Amino acid sequence: MSTIKLKVDGWEKSITFSASHILPGHEKCGRIHGHNYAIHVRISGEPSESGVVFDFLPIKEKLREIADRLDHRVLIASGMEGLKKEENEIMIQIENKRYVFPEEDALILDIDQVTAEQLAMYLLEEVVEEVDFPEKVNSVEIGVDESRGQGAWARKEI
């Protein structure tokens, strides 16, 4: 049986979000700035008797739900040094700089740094856990672009 790969391109299918982040320690990216992100997926597997590997709809729905959740937020890594939560505010102290965000404008993600690499790994875990893939699907890849043509992919055998 041959393996088939399905692809969904986030730019083409409007699975995109705009968000800002800070990468402490980087000269330029250490200042708060934003990106227009896109999320892509590739699914490998054997087709069923009807010739289908997986229905595009549930995976697109899941990716859109994630994109909506991250859209127009300040993305903050839970592992970031100097991160503090108080009442409805999130404070970040990076050396001599102090950022304060209203909680509703920010989203704390369970990662160490908000890079495309870590976002891809983080989203892959969620997709693999929450999307009901048929048995004949053997791997899932999630790509996160920070801009067109530049991004990171994470892959998992399932």
Is 21 known to be catalytic?
Answer: no
Q: Is 86 helix (H, G, I), strand (E, B) or coil?
A: strand
Interface residues with Zn ion (CB under 5 A) are 29
C-alpha to C-alpha distances, 102 to 55, 71, 86, 136, nearest whole angstrom: 39, 15, 10, 45
Shortest Cβ 113–Zn ion spacing (Å): 10
Among 21, 40, 141, 146, the one annotated catalytic: 146
Do 84 and 117 meet the contact criterion of CB atoms below 8 Å apart? Answer: no
Q: Of the two residues 3 and 18, which places its CB atom closer to Zn ion in the complex?
A: 18
Which residue's Cβ lies closest to Zn ion? 29
Q: Of the two residues 29 and 52, which places its CB atom closer to Zn ion in the complex?
A: 29
Tokens read off for 54: 């997986």
Is 27 known to be catalytic?
Answer: no
Q: What is the set of active-site residues?
A: 29, 72, 146
